[in-house]
Structure 1
Amino acid sequence: MIMKEDRRFPHRHEVLQFMKTKPALVIFIVLTYAFGYLTAYYNHVPPSTTVLKTVKATKPRGSLVDNFRVTTRCGDPVPPESIRQTVIDKIFNGTSPYVDFPPPHAGKYLRSKRIKGWGSYGAVFENLIRQVKPRTIVEVGSFLGASAIHMANLTRRLGLEETQILCVDDFRGWPGFRDRFKDMALVNGDVLLLYQFMQNVVSSGSTGSILPVPFSAGSALEKLCEWGVTADLVEIDAGHDFNSAWADINRAVRILRPGGVLFGHDYFTAADNRGVRRAVNLFAEINRLKVKTDGQHWVIDSVNVT
C-alpha cells in the first residue's frame, strides 16, 4: 500500500531554498543581534545582582514576642542621691536650669503662675507615693507641671524630702494647641512652655525637687537608661495614640527599679479611643502582668520585664 506523503515538515531542499531568500536573511540578522545583546548583558551585570543566595528561615527561639523586645543594656544604676546632679551635669552642663531664671527675652511673657492639667490631682498620686515611697519619680508628659507640682507637695507632706521628680517633655505642645491656649506667648516660633513650666515650679517652691528633661519621650528615656538613671515610680501621660503610648511604656519600663510601679492617665477617658487602653492592655498581656485602675488612671505594679 502506498502511504500518503507526510507534509507536516518541509523537505530539506525547500529549507535550503528558503534560506536563500531575503526574509530569511533578515530573520538571521535579527536573531544574531539579539543573541549578541543578551550575551553582552549577562557578561556585564554586577555579580551582586545575578548571584542569589537562598537563606533558610530559622524558627525563632522562644515566643514570637521576643522579636519585639528591646534588649539593649542600660548603664549601671546611679544611686538615688546622685540622680539630680547626674541629670544637671548631662543636660545643663553642671548648672541648675533655675539659676538666673527667667531669661530676659522670656520673663515679660510669663505669668507668675499658669497651671493647667488633666487628671493631675487624682487619688492615685497619693496612693502610690504612700505605697512606694519613691526616691525618684519620672513623669513622661508634663505640659505646665500640674501633676508634677502636686506630687512634689505630696512627697514633702509625707516626709519624703529627698524625692526627685524628672519631667520628660519636649515642651512644644502639639500643632494647634495655641487655639485652645491663646494666652501662651509665641516668640520666634517658641511657645515658651518650658519657661512657663519652670515659672510654675519656682512659684510652688519646688525647684529643689523638680527638674525638666526637655526632650522627646523617646530620646529622653533612651538616654536616662544609658546613663543609669532609674526610678521607683514612672508616670506615662504624653502622646495618647496607641503607637506613642506603646513606645513610651516599653521604654519607660527599662528604667523602672525592681519593685517599682508604672502608671498613667487616660484609661477611662475619651483619649482611650485613640489607643491608650489598648497599649496598656497589650503590654500587660504580653508580659503576664495585671492592670489595676484608680479613677481614670491605670497602674501596673510588680513589674519584672526582661
Structure 2
Amino acid sequence: MNEDRLPSPRHHHTNNKKKTRFGYLSAPSSCSSLRPLPSPEILKVDGYDLKNQLDNFRVKTHCAKPLPPQLVHETILDRVYNATSPYDNFPPAHVRGLLRDKRLKGWGSYGEVFEHLIQKVKPKVIIEVGTFLGASALHMAELTRKLGLDSLILCIDDFRGWLGFRDLVGFVNMVNGDVLLLYQFMQNVVQNNATGSVLPIPFSSGSTLEILCEWGVFGDLIEIDAGHDFNSAWADINRAYRILRPGGVIFGHDYFTAADNRGVRRAVNLFAQMNGLKIQTDGQHWVIDSA
C-alpha cells in the first residue's frame, strides 16, 4: 500500500490546537484524564469507499480460543524456549563482559498513561509491541507489583534496533553484527528482579502477533510502540487488536510527538475510523478502549 496515496491531516495552529480532517486535536497537557476525540466520517479516495478499498489489507488469520491467562507463561516457555526459561544460566559467557549492569533507554516510557490504564484494566497479561531496552516494560512491572497484581508482560521485539541507533545509544556493544539488545534487555530485567513477570519474544512483530493469534495468547492491555511509519503502525495495530481480550485496552506512543508525521497518528485514526472506535489521548499516547 502506498502511504502517499492516503489523505494526510493538514495542520493549522489555532489557539494551540491542530486542525485535521478529523477535527481539532488538542496538544497534550498535564491533565491526567483521558480526552475523547471526535469520530471521523468515512473518507473517500478516487470516488471509492476507503473501507472497501482497504479491506484486502485486513488481517484475516483465524485466532484460536483465548487461553486462560494462567497458561500463557507456560505456553510461551514451551513453544518459544523449549520449556526452559531464557534467564537460566544468564548471561552466556561470550557476552558476560560486554553488558552493563543496568542501562535503560526509552521514549515516553514513564508517562502517567501506564499507571492510569493498569489501575483501570488490572491486566493479567500485558503485551508490548516494541520494547527496545525494556524501560516501559519494567515500569509497568513495577506498577503491577505496587498494585498487588500478578501480571505477565510479553515483550515483542526483534531486538535489532534500527540502522544508526548506536549513534544515539552508544553504550550498546556489538559482537559479529549482533548489537546485543536482547542480552542488555534481559540484563535490565534481571537487575530489576522482574524475570518472573517480564518475558521477551525475540521475533518480528508481524510474525509474532500472527502466531499468538493462532495459539490463543490474548492480552488485556496491549501497547504499540514499534515501527513509527504508517505501514508498520497500521500492521501492528490491526494484528494486535485481534488478540485484545474483550473489554481490554490497546494504546501507543507518538500520537503527539514529532514522529506522528511519519504515520502513527494517521494509522491510529484510520483504524479507529474503519472499526467504529473512539480514540482518547493521555499525554503523548493514544488509547482505544474496547469496552
Partner residue in 2 for 1:82: 71
Q: Is this contact kept in 2: 1:137–1:231, CA < 8 A?
A: yes
| Aligned equivalent of 1:239 | 227
Matches of 2:126 and 2:265, distance apart in 1 = 22
State the one-letter code of the partner of 1:285: Q
Aligned to 1:142: 131
Question: SS in structure 2 opposite 1:95?
Answer: coil
Structure 1 partner of 2:60: 71
Q: Distance in 2 between matches of 1:66 and 1:240?
A: 22
Q: Matches of 1:66 and 1:266 in 2, distance apart?
A: 26
Unmatched 5+ residue regions in structure 1?
Answer: 1-59
**1:171 partnered with 2:179:** no
Q: Does residue 273 in structure 1 map to residue 261 in structure 2? A: yes
Give me the whole-angstrom Cα distance separating, in 2, the residues matched to 1:82 and 1:285.
Answer: 34
Paired letter, 1:296: Q
**Amino acid corresponding to residue 138 of structure 1 in structure 2:** I
Match of 1:107?
A: 96
- Flag the structure with more relative contact order, 1 or 2, with Cα contacts below 8 A and sequence separation at least 6: 2
3-state SS in 2 of match to 1:165: strand
Q: 1:292 and 2:280 equivalent?
A: yes
Overall identity of the aligned pairs, in %: 70
User: In structure 1, the residue corresponding to 2:242 is in which secondary structure?
Assistant: helix
More strand by share: 2
Corresponding position: 1:185 with 2:165: no
* Shift, 1:182, TM fit: 2.1
| Structure in which a larger fraction of residues adopt helix | 1
Rounded to whole Å, the distance in 2 between the matches of 1:134 and 1:167 is: 15
Which SS does the other structure have where 1:232 is aligned? Answer: strand
2:77 paired with 1:94 = no
Q: Partners in 1 of 2:91 and 2:153 — Cα distance? A: 21
Task: After superposition, give the CA deviation of every residue in 1:263-298 in whole Å (9 maximum; x if it has no partner).
Answer: 000000010010100000000011111100000000
Check whether the contact 2:133–2:184 (CA below 8 A) recurs between aligned residues. yes
Cα-to-partner distance string for 1:247-278 (whole Å, 9 max, x where unaligned):
00000001100011010000000100101000
State the aligned residue count. Answer: 242
Structure showing greater radius of gyration is 1
Shift of 1:63: 4.9
State the alpha-carbon separation in 2 of the partners of residues 171 and 198 from structure 1.
Answer: 11
User: Given the alignment, which residue of 152, 162, 181 partners 2:141?
Assistant: 152
1:14 is aligned to: none
Find the residue that maps to 1:263 and give its secondary structure: strand
- Distance in structure 2 (CA, Å) of the matches to 1:229 and 1:181: 33
**C-alpha distance in structure 1 between counterparts of 2:55 and 2:230, whole Å:** 20
Two-structure CA RMSD over aligned residues (Å)? 1.4
TM-score by length of 2: 0.81
C-alpha distance in 2 between matches for 1:72 and 1:189: 34
Answer yes or no: is 1:125 the counterpart of 2:114.
Answer: yes
SS at match of 1:78: coil
- Asked whether the equivalents of residues 173 and 193 of structure 1 are also in contact (C-alpha less than 8 Å), the reply is yes
AA matched with 2:190: V
On the 8 A contact 1:65/1:286 being kept in 2, the answer is: no
Post-superposition Cα deviations, 1:213-249, rounded to whole Å, max 9, x if no partner, equal 0001001111111111000000000000000000000
Distance in 1, matches of 2:265 and 2:66, equals 30
The answer to whether the aligner puts 1:261 opposite 2:249 as a matched pair is yes
214-223 vs 180-189, which deviates more? 180-189
Match of residue 213 from structure 1: 201
CA shift for structure 1 position 68: 3.4
* Gap runs ≥5 in structure 2: 1-48
CA distance in 2, matches of 1:184, 1:69: 37
Distance apart, 1:65 and its partner CA: 4.8
